[in-house]
């Protein structure tokens, strides 16, 4: 979602060549959006005044098919379609940026359309749930007017969509002030993917409200409905995984120690409620559905569309752990079940997951990383496990703990997670260490210069024998050239001495950088960064301006990778502005979490009392 | 996270590119905000019109 960025020169060129087309696209999109807005309001108006019936008939057809009220079935179906669209656009977008670098223009990147349509569709799905019901949709419903009530799940789904869409204008303001931050973990990017990620939960809230409003004997669906429920939790697993995507492509700009924590949190949050609500085997089933969906997207983006390859966590190890714990009597005590599951996932589950990571990811988890990884993952997963158990309690109609305790657990989990992330973001750049780099040409066809790299780091003991990575990353070289990415873990041939294991590109648009992450040390040395008039930067790096030579030698100090990997970023702003920007985005994110917490509490508060109306109470197991 | 000022002079182009991206942002964001605005307007108008007459509105009855 890093939008296009131009030099004055490029813009002038674009306005005479490609700029007209881009402007047409923008105008077209504006017109489409205005039409969609007018249509939405008009259809909503006609429907609320009972002047059209097709929307009722359509939603009732979906309702009969999925054994749920119309105001659940149609919005959830729309949501599934749009969220898959957004997921595909998101993964494709990230891969295009990794392979190609900056976009030539905001709409020149086809993936952006899928994201835009997906996020907007998500908002519309939520609004459809809000607008559809003529009668009060369940006891928890939110009053809009005297005779118009909206389901909590619909309100929250629309809210998540709005929050994600808000990322677009804020992203623009952000880039205007700070330049491009070419990382997924830019605050406004986190809003867009976080909004979509958390929206998966709102679809399940909506489904629960619909189930509560359905007579028990009409709830049972066939295998199709069961699959949709597994898909719901698979969606939560994928939605919570969006923060890991840089790791999935092997281009993380942050320390590797984040990854196990993120995996443990996502797995616990999705699979604990799945097991609680859908019974034995549900955690594994949800993980398998998630694998299917992520696998299909990865296959489409990589092998089929020719963009960089991405992997994804399987969550089968965590699912297995949760299933085992679910066989014990702990399952009858939800909070304890959640906490123990969190612990199990963050230990045994992560170990099982690490086997998969070691096999397919570029960077396996070194043993030296485990103490810090566990210190981050265990407390986070414990808190997330408690929150997940409360989500599961909402879905199974069990009374939540007292409000103060419930909110306290959510707040504590947010604080613990924030603390763990803050720790993960800490890194040092070695002040005196020097990397001497020798590049030897191995091929040069049509100026496509490929080299072998020999690296000698002094002092030789600067990097331990078990670092997270000592590698050379070449990226943004264009999809036509090896998908625009080469990640080479260097072979250690002696103390402080490393050698590349495959040809490294130092030509054209390629950006090639030596990367080191060893415990808290994280730094890089530019090898080849082409001149970039778009951001007013000359060629940089050891090989800059010397690519004619068969052998190139240069020695450099290490520097923070943000200077190299986020070359487009603009540091010409007061430091406080960055802090204020981050705080605004943080506040928006906390409002989102508060909204979801409110919704869960409201649904649970209005649950049909077990003792008073036992006979009316729907079965909790679908 | 610590970052270093690298002294690049990049202010001249930023305005131009942001203009483009903002155009992308508005069509995505504007309809959503407008729809929410309409719903809130309807809700507020209903409360203003009816709240006086319906102080004892029953929570469970939709109609």
C-alpha angle A364-A193-A281 in degrees, rounded to nearest 5? 65
Q: Which residues contact A262 (CB under 8 A, 6 or more apart)?
A: A241, A243, A244, A247
Neighbouring CB atoms inside 10 A of A490's CB total 20
Query: A372-417 pLDDT, tens per residue?
Result: 999 999 999 999 999 999 999 999 999 999 999 999 999 999 999 9
- Judge whether residue A185 has pLDDT over 90: no
How close A185 comes to chain B (CA, Å)?
A: 12
Contact A485, A475 (CB under 8 A): yes
Per-residue pLDDT tens over the stretch A28-53 = 777 877 888 899 899 999 999 999 99
Q: Residue A131 corresponds to which tokens in the numbers above?
A: 């607008």
A386, HSE (Cβ side, Cα atoms, 13 Å): 17
- Residues with Cβ within 8 Å of residue A327, at least 6 apart in sequence: A280
Instruction: Identify the pLDDT of residue A564.
Output: 82
Judge whether A522 and A90 are in contact, CB under 8 Å: no
Q: What is the mean pLDDT of residues A114-139?
A: 93
| Higher-confidence position of A352 and B17 | A352
For residue A560, the Cα-to-chain-centroid distance in whole angstroms is 24
Q: Do B28 and A534 touch (CB under 8 A)?
A: no
Radius of gyration from C-alpha coordinates of chain A? 26
Among A133-142, A214-223, A339-348, the minimum mean pLDDT is found in A214-223
**Please, which residues have CB within 8 angstroms of residue A538's CB and are 6 or more apart in sequence?**
A531, A544
Partner-chain contact B33 A112, CB within 8 Å: no
CB of A7 within 8 Å of a chain B CB? The answer is: yes
CA distance B52 to chain A (A): 12
Are the Cβ atoms of A32 and B27 closer than 8 angstroms? yes
Please give the model's pTM, rounded to 2 decimal places.
Answer: 0.89
A113–B contact, CB cutoff 8 A: no
pLDDT at A601: 95
Report the 10 Å Cβ neighbour count for A432.
9
Tell which phi-psi region holds residue A397, choosing left (phi > 0), alpha (psi between -120 and 50) or beta: left
Closest Cα in chain B to A424: B1
Q: CA of A115: which chain B residue's CA is closest?
A: B28
Q: What angle do CA A460, A466, A470 make, to 5 degrees?
A: 65
Which range is most confident: A215-219, A331-335, A585-589?
A: A331-335
Contact yes or no for A3 and B17 at CB 8 A: yes
Which residue from B12, B35, B62 is facing A37, i.e. has the nearest CB? Answer: B35
How many beta carbons lie within 10 A of that of residue A358, not counting itself?
12
What pLDDT was estimated at residue B62?
A: 46
- Which DSSP category does A252 fall into? -
Q: CA of A397, closest CA in chain B: separation in Å?
A: 19
Beta strands in A459-535 (DSSP E): 469-475, 485-489, 491-494, 497-499, 504-505, 511-518, 521-528
**Class of residue A551 by CB neighbours under 10 A (exposed 0-12, middle 13-18, buried 19+):** exposed
Residues of B in contact with A563 (CB under 8 A): 3-4, 6
Residue among A391, A406, A397, A402 nearest A613 (CA) = A397
Task: Kindly provide the ipTM of the predicted complex, given to two decimals.
Answer: 0.82
| Rounded Cα gap, residues A93 and A87, in angstroms | 10
CB–CB of B21 and A570 under 8 A?
A: no
Q: Is the pLDDT of residue A586 over 90?
A: no
Instruction: Give the per-residue pLDDT at A26.
Output: 67
Q: Does B37 touch chain A (CB under 8 A)?
A: no
Q: Is the pLDDT of residue A523 over 90?
A: yes
Nearest to A268 by CA among A112, A95, A385: A385
CA nearest to B14 within chain A: A176
Residue B44 touches partner A, C-beta closer than 8 Å: no
Give the pLDDT confidence score for residue A258 in this predicted structure: 97
Upstream peptide bond of A459 is cis (omega within 30 degrees of 0) = yes
The share of chain A scoring above pLDDT 70, in percent, equals 92
Please give, rounded to a whole number of angstroms, the shortest distance from the CA of B11 to a CA of chain A: 7
CA dist A606 → A137, A145, A394 (Å): 12, 19, 10
Chain A to chain B Cβ contacts (< 8 Å): 166
Beta-carbon contacts of residue A12 (< 8 Å; ≥ 6 apart): none
Residue in chain A lying closest to B63 (CA) = A147
Is the Cβ pair B31, A161 closer than 8 Å?
Answer: no
Q: How confident is the model at residue A67 (pLDDT cuts 50, 70, 90)?
A: confident
DSSP A132: S
Residue B8 has pLDDT above 80, yes or no: no
The confidence score (pLDDT) of residue B51 equals: 62
Closest chain A residue to the Cα of B15, Cα to Cα: A176
What is the predicted pLDDT for the residue at A272? 98
Average pLDDT score, chain A = 89
Question: Which residue from A26, A165, A535 is facing B29, i.e. has the nearest CB?
Answer: A165
* Predicted pLDDT of residue A178: 78
Ranges assigned E (strand) in B1-63: none
Write phi, then psi, for A21 (nearest 5 degrees): -60, -45
Asked if A112 lies within 8 A of B43 by C-beta distance, the reply is no
B41 touches chain A (CB under 8 A): no
Dist CA A514 CA A457 (whole Å): 11
Taking only the tens place, the pLDDT of each residue in A196-215 is: 999 999 999 999 999 988 87
């Amino acid at each position: 979602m890093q939008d296009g960025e131009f030099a004055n020169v490029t813009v002038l060129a674009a306005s005479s060549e490609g700029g007209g087309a881009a402007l047409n696209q923008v105008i077209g999109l504006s017109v489409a959006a205005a039409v969609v807005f007018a249509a939405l309001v008009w259809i909503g108006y006609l429907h609320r005044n009972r002047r059209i019936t097709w929307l009722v008939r359509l939603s009732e057809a979906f309702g009969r098919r999925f054994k749920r009220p119309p105001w659940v079935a149609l919005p959830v179906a729309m949501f599934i379609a749009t969220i898959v669209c957004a997921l595909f656009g998101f993964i494709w977008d990230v891969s295009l940026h990794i392979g190609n670098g900056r976009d030539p223009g905001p709409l020149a990147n086809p993936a952006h359309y899928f994201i835009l349509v997906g996020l907007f569709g998500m908002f519309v799905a939520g609004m459809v749930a809000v607008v559809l019901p003529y009668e009060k949709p369940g006891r928890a419903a939110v009053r809009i007017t005297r005779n118009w009530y909206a389901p909590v799940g619909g309100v929250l789904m629309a809210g998540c969509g709005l929050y994600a869409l808000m990322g677009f204008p804020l992203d623009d303001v952000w880039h205007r002030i700070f330049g491009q931050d070419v990382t997924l973990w830019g605050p406004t990017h986190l809003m867009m993917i976080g909004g979509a990620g958390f929206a998966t939960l709102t679809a399940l809230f909506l489904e629960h409200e619909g189930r509560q409003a359905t007579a028990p004997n009409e709830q049972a669906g066939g295998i199709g409905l069961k699959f949709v429920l597994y898909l719901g939790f698979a969606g939560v697993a994928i939605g919570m995984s969006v923060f890991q995507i840089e790791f999935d492509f092997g281009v993380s700009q942050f320390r590797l120690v984040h990854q196990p924590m993120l995996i443990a949190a996502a797995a616990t949050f999705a699979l604990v409620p799945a097991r609680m609500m859908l019974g034995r085997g549900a955690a594994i089933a949800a993980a398998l559905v998630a694998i299917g969906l992520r696998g299909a997207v990865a296959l489409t983006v990589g092998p089929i569309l020719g963009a960089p390859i991405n992997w994804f966590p399987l969550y089968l190890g965590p699912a297995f752990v949760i299933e085992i714990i679910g066989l014990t009597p702990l399952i009858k005590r939800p909070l304890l079940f959640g906490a123990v599951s969190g612990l199990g996932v963050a230990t045994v589950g992560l170990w099982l997951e690490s086997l998969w990571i070691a096999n397919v990811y570029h960077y396996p988890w070194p043993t030296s990383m485990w103490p810090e990884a566990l210190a981050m993952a265990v407390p986070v997963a414990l808190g997330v496990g408690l929150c997940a158990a409360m989500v599961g309690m909402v879905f199974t109609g069990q009374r939540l703990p007292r409000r103060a305790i419930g909110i306290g657990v959510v707040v504590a989990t947010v604080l613990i997670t924030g603390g763990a992330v803050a720790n993960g973001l800490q890194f040092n750049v070695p002040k005196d260490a020097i990397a001497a780099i020798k590049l030897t040409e191995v091929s040069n066809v049509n100026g496509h210069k490929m080299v072998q790299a020999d690296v000698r780091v002094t002092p030789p003991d600067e990097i331990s024998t078990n670092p997270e990575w000592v590698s050379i990353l070449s990226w943004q070289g264009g999809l036509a050239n090896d998908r625009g990415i080469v990640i080479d873990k260097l072979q250690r041939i002696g103390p402080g001495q490393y050698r590349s294991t495959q040809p490294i590109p130092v030509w054209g648009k390629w950006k090639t950088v030596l990367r080191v992450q060893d415990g808290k040390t994280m730094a890089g040395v530019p090898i080849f960064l082409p001149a970039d008039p778009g951001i007013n930067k000359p060629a940089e790096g050891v090989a800059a301006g010397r690519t004619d030579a068969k052998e190139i030698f240069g020695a450099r100090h290490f520097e923070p990778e943000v200077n190299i990997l986020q070359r487009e970023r603009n540091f010409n702003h007061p430091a406080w502005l960055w802090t204020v920007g981050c705080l605004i985005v943080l506040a928006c994110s906390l409002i989102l979490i508060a909204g979801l917490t409110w919704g869960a509490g409201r649904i649970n508060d209005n649950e049909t009392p077990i003792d008073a109306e036992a006979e009316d109470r729907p079965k909790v197991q679908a | 996270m610590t970052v270093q000022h690298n002294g690049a002079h990049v202010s001249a182009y930023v305005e131009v590119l942001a203009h483009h991206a903002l155009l992308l942002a508005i069509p995505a964001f504007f309809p959503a905000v407008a729809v929410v605005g309409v719903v809130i307007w309807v809700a507020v108008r209903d409360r203003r019109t009816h709240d006086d007459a319906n102080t004892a509105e029953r929570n469970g009855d939709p109609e």
